[in-house]
């Protein structure tokens, strides 16, 4: 998962190491040259008859800088300077954009890495790779963790039944994600009922009914063309009457520009007042998923995102970018075809995996 991005982050680490190693080699050469020059001076007669003054050269102007580098090496410290990062940071920016990381998010990561590394002393107990990894870790966690909350804790603390509504565009795995969520909740001791608020699409009832049967859950549904808010409200009433913990409400796939469908979503919120509205999209959609998440959040205010097909995504741009762009977290990743293949999103765990060898 996200192997392409992982490889590109590793390349940045190697690029910075190469730049610093070149600096070390220059510092060693400068120190050797200075030592040889001092030895030559000591070997000369102490009272020469007439020694012409040596003309200054451009190299003399560079000597203090070289000596400072040599002194840094002698004390086991190397200072990372802006010039050392110029080319590696440019390459990192291109790598992030190629991995579908949104532009403002890429810039935030670059600024953070630059701030954390420039002027940093590499001591004998550190390696350049460790310094770079720490800077990347902090920068990535910072942008990925925006708005993060514990989904299970929120379910546990909310008044029952908890209503969670799923929304997004057509064909991204929304209905399958609802069935997976039902299984995920069941593994943690929470009962759930499915409510099919997708009364717009032909065949929607049959699709979600099959999923409900497969995971052994009750489905509340109306005829095609019915009121989506009424269906989910009936799901809430069923949950209250039968001590069910969570109502998982499906809705018709829509674009944020579909005024009639967005009006339906607004009515669901008025009638049912869900605890959470989750936006569902495909991780492989990259920046398209990021833009849609932003548009849905602007139109209907989501609480978090579920990214499907994360196991097929080598770029990771959507997972990296959505929280920073919307201010709402990625909460779950779909990682396979099975109903058990729903993974709670952990920013720290993701970043550690991206930076591991």
Query: Is the same domain home to 192 and 247?
Result: yes
Same domain, 177 and 324: yes
Kindly tell me if the per-residue pLDDT of 349 is higher than 60.
yes
Q: At which residue do the structure tokens 């069935």 appear?
A: 179
| Residues 238-259, mean pLDDT to the nearest whole number | 89
Among the candidates 124, 144, 164, a domain finishes at: 144
Residue whose C-alpha is closest to residue 191's, from 227, 168, 218, 170? 218
**Within a domain: residue 229?**
yes
Q: What is the mean pLDDT of residues 232-255?
A: 94
Reported as a single tens digit per residue, the pLDDT across 143-171 is: 999 999 999 999 999 999 999 999 999 88
| Mean per-residue pLDDT of the chain | 84
Tell me the two tokens of residue 352.
Answer: 């550690």
**In the predicted structure, residue 325 carries a pLDDT above the cut 90:** yes
Confidence bin at 30 (pLDDT 50/70/90): low
Asked whether residue 238 is assigned to any structural domain, the reply reads yes
* DSSP per position, 19-86: HHHHHHHHHHHHHHHHHHHHHHHHHS-SS-S--PPPPP-HHHHHHHHHHHHHHHHHTT-EE--HHHHH
323 and 190 housed in the same domain: yes
Residues 28 and 133 placed together within one structural domain of the fold: yes
**330 to 119, 179, 219, 232: CA distances (angstroms):** 34, 18, 27, 24
pLDDT of residue 128: 76
At 58 the pLDDT is 44
Answer whether residue 205 is part of any domain: yes
- CATH of residue 64: 1.20.120.140
11-15, 39-43, 73-77, 273-277: which has the minimum mean pLDDT?
A: 73-77
pLDDT in tens, 201-240: 878 899 999 999 999 999 999 988 889 999 999 999 999 9
User: Do the domain assignments include residue 265?
Assistant: yes
Q: Is residue 194 part of a domain?
A: yes
Q: Which residues are annotated as a binding site?
A: 168-175, 250-254, 308-311
CA atoms in the 13 A half-sphere facing the CB of 114: 16
Q: Is residue 357 part of a domain?
A: no
pLDDT value of position 254: 75
Put simply, whether the predicted model's pTM sits higher than 0.85 gets the answer no
Q: Are 15 and 88 in contact (CB under 8 A)?
A: yes
Whether the predicted pLDDT of 291 surpasses 80: yes
Mean pLDDT of 32-56: 54
% of the chain with per-residue pLDDT over 70: 82
Among 254, 325, 313, residue whose Cα is nearest residue 286: 313
- Same structural domain, 28 and 104: yes
CB atoms within 10 A of CB 286: 21
Q: Which residues are annotated as a binding site for GTP?
A: 168-175, 250-254, 308-311
- pLDDT for position 231: 96
Give the total number of structural domains in the chain: 2
Lowest mean pLDDT among 109-123, 200-214, 240-254, 274-288: 109-123
pLDDT of residue 322: 95
Tell me the C-alpha distance between 78 and 69, whole Å: 7
CA 315 to chain centre: 11
**Together in a domain, 112 and 235:** no
Q: At what angle are helices 128-144 and 103-117 packed, to 10 degrees?
A: 140
Is the same domain home to 65 and 185? no
* Apex 349 CA angle, 345 and 351, nearest 5: 105
For residue 279, give the nearest of 266, 265, 262, 292 by alpha carbon: 292
3-state secondary structure of 250: strand
Residue 59 in this model has a pLDDT that exceeds 50 = no
Q: What is the CA angle 236-210-293, rounded to 5? A: 65
- Over residues 328-343, the pLDDT tens digits come to 999 999 999 999 999 9
Are 178 and 248 within 8 A, CB to CB?
A: yes
pLDDT band at 123 (very low <50, low <70, confident <90, very high): low
Query: Per mean pLDDT, which of 21-30, 173-182, 299-308 is the most reliable?
Result: 173-182
Among 127, 144, 161, residue at a domain's last position: 144
The CATH number covering residue 253 comes to 3.40.50.300
For residues 90 and 122, membership in a common domain is answered with yes
What are the backbone dihedrals phi and psi of residue 250, each rounded to the nearest 5 degrees, phi first? Answer: -85, 155
Domain check: are 98 and 118 in the same one?
yes
Same structural domain for residues 309 and 230? yes
Decide which of 144, 173, 206 is a domain's last residue: 144
Cα–Cα distance, 303 to 152 (Å, whole number):
14
**Are residues 124 and 19 part of one domain?**
yes
Count CB neighbours of 33 within 10 A.
14
Instruction: Give residue 196's domain range.
Output: 151-344
Give the tens place of pLDDT for each residue, 78-112: 677 888 888 889 999 999 999 999 999 999 999 99
Helix (H) or strand (E) holding 73: helix 58-74
Listed ranges 23-32, 110-119, 244-253; the one with the highest mean pLDDT: 244-253
**One domain, residues 282 and 339:** yes
What does the DSSP 8-state code read for residue 213? H
Q: Specify if 253 maps to a domain.
A: yes
| Position 97 in a domain | yes
Q: Tokens at residue 90, please?
A: 């440019």
Eight-state DSSP code of residue 3: H
Which token pair is 25?
Answer: 């080699």
């Amino acid at each position: 998962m996200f192997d392409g991005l992982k490889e590109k982050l590793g390349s940045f680490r190697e690029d910075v190491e190469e730049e610093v190693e070149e600096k070390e080699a220059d510092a060693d050469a400068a120190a050797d040259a200075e030592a040889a020059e001092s030895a030559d001076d000591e070997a000369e007669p102490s009272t020469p008859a007439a020694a012409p003054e040596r003309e200054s050269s451009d190299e003399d102007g560079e000597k203090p800088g070289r000596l400072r580098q040599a002194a840094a090496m002698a004390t086991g410290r190397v200072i990372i300077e802006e010039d050392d990062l110029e080319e590696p940071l440019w390459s990192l920016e291109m790598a992030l954009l190629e991995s579908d990381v949104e532009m403002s998010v890429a810039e935030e990561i670059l600024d953070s890495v630059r701030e954390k590394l420039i002027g940093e002393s590499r001591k004998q107990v550190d390696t350049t790779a460790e310094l770079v990894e720490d800077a990347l870790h902090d920068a990535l966690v910072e942008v990925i963790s925006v708005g993060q909350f514990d989904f299970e804790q929120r379910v546990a603390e909310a008044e029952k039944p908890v209503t969670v509504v799923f929304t997004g565009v057509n064909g991204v795995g929304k209905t399958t994600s609802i069935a997976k969520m039902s299984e995920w909740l069941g593994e943690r001791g929470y009962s759930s009922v499915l409510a099919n608020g997708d009364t717009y699409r032909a065949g929607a009832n049959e699709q979600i009914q099959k999923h409900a049967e497969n995971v052994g859950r009750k489905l509340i549904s109306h005829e095609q063309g019915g009121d989506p808010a009424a269906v989910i409200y009936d799901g809430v009433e069923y949950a209250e009457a039968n001590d069910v913990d969570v109502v998982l409400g499906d809705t018709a796939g829509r674009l944020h520009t579909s005024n009639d469908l967005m009006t339906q979503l607004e009515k669901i919120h008025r009638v049912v007042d869900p605890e959470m509205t989750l936006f569902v999209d495909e991780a492989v959609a990259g920046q398209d998923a990021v833009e849609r998440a932003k548009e849905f959040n602007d139109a209907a205010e989501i609480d978090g995102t579920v990214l499907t097909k994360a196991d097929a995504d080598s770029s990771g741009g959507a997972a990296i970018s959505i929280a920073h762009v919307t201010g709402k977290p990625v909460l779950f990743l779909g990682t396979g075809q099975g109903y058990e293949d729903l993974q709670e999103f952990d920013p720290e765990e993701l970043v550690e995996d991206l930076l591991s060898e």
